[in-house]
Structure 1
């Protein structure tokens, strides 16, 4: 059961990596990061709503509260992530977002939700080393990454951790389809307050409408379904660690589609991540 849960999280992370690549692709075509974020979540909301209609759930105040918290986390994650991409690169933005395990670990220890272990610390250390090598974070300044890109990347990581905890606590009071329905409804309302409505409407008359829909399916609808099912079968820390295959997928997308070349150092980092994720999956099983 634990191994299957981690496998679902990994598959969701691959889809998220593809979503990051699609977001970068759409930004290269001139679309605003906030509009891209909105369509990712809005299409996801429609997908999750369909799931909810087939499996309705009962509502209660704790469920609504924690689902809204999860929705705030989703909104921050999507918006900050795409802004970070626009201010730097897909690989670097994905790396900064995956400081989330550090936030999750600290929050878990502070509230005594789980105990630390040498294995968890080693896994985090090796994966973080891998993402540093993969994205060459140490040369961010020379690559023209802005302060805004750094701050929003870290904000995406903190928001991701907020979603993990919001969903975990909401799941004690209801079913995942109900939690995600409220979370993505909250996301849609929040992002509607900040996007350029004229540009958002113009998407319907654009040939890029297909890519926006695909982004929502990959980056929210299907991926979040897989992720939350997997998350219920493993711990928040383990799930957030194995989900780091997302920057690997995003980097490969950048290489194959956007012609972003990978150095030997980056390939070495990718190898460290994949090996560590595999070991972690076997250990957790």
Structure 2
């Protein structure tokens, strides 16, 4: 069962990696990042609604705390999707995916600020190494590099911060209801936020565009099946294993960008990417070793 569960987590990460590349294809055709994010979440909402309909037990939908924390999770995932695609449009899939993978660093910083976790030297050292990796990856030291804009860098980091908000929202909603109920509320909030922020004309135009199959695949892989695979798989996967397996996402996204979208990465960028991926994974494994494994997904 553990091997199958780890495979489900890896499959979810693979789907998320592909979704970044598919989003890059759509935005290269001129679609707005917010509109792309809206359809990713809206199609995902259909899947989690079906999941809740099939497994309605102990949903917790009568709990006000479930609704409030799930709405916060929805705000986080809306920001994660939107900022991620903005970062791709302003830079590259590889850079955006790796910057988003910095999310655990933001989780630690928020935990330090809220005194939920005690700062230690290894954690601060890991955060410092990730910051060095970000500098190398984004090449902010080279003004003439031009491969990634400041907007792209900021959006990539904000996508990671937004994911941290989603993690906290999900964590505090979990005691009050089922994962599928939390995701229904979160994705409903996401759809409402991004529909309001998006280009209404483009949002309607998607329904009749020849690119519709790409939007459908993006929603199915990027928010539908992937979240189901991840949460089901994580229930029987050690957090340390899940942390390592999650590296499939940025690696898949980077390969998609290089092979399909013909993006190029300079030597220092590859070094920075490797530094971020290895450090964040080691940080997650270290954190898992300090705590008992739990059934709370996304932790």
The verdict on a shared fold, with TM-score over 0.5 as the criterion, is yes
Which residue in 2 is equivalent to 1:35? Answer: 35
Contact 2:60 2:66 in 1 (8 A): no
Which residue in 1 is equivalent to 2:88? Answer: 85
Which residue in 2 is equivalent to 1:171? Answer: 174
SS at match of 1:193: helix
Contact 1:52 1:178 in 2 (8 A): yes
Match of 2:213 among 195, 210, 215: 210
How many angstroms does 1:242 deviate by?
5.9
Contact 1:105 1:237 in 2 (8 A): no
Which residue in 2 is equivalent to 1:259? Answer: 262
Q: TM-score, normalised by structure 1?
A: 0.83
Q: 1:128 to 1:94 in 2, by over 3 A?
A: farther
How many aligned positions are there? 285
Task: Give ranges in structure 1 of 5+ residues lacking alignment.
Answer: none
1:135-284 → structure 2 map (5 Å cutoff): 139=142, 142-229=145-232, 243-263=246-266, 277=281
Contact 2:240 2:284 in 1 (8 A): no
SS at match of 1:83: helix
Query: Deviations 1:167-186 (Å, cap 9, x if unpaired)?
Result: 01100111100000000000
How many angstroms does 1:40 deviate by?
0.4
Which residue in 2 is equivalent to 1:67? Answer: 70
Q: TM-score, normalised by structure 2?
A: 0.80
How many angstroms does 1:73 deviate by?
0.2
Query: Deviations 1:92-143 (Å, cap 9, x if unpaired)?
Result: 2222223311110122233343445666566666677667666666557512
Contact 2:98 2:276 in 1 (8 A): no
CA RMSD of aligned residues (A): 3.5
Instruction: Single out whichever of 169-178 and 5-14 deviates more from structure 2.
Output: 5-14
Instruction: Single out whichever of 111-120 and 126-135 deviates more from structure 2.
Output: 126-135
Instruction: Single out whichever of 80-89 and 135-144 deviates more from structure 2.
Output: 135-144
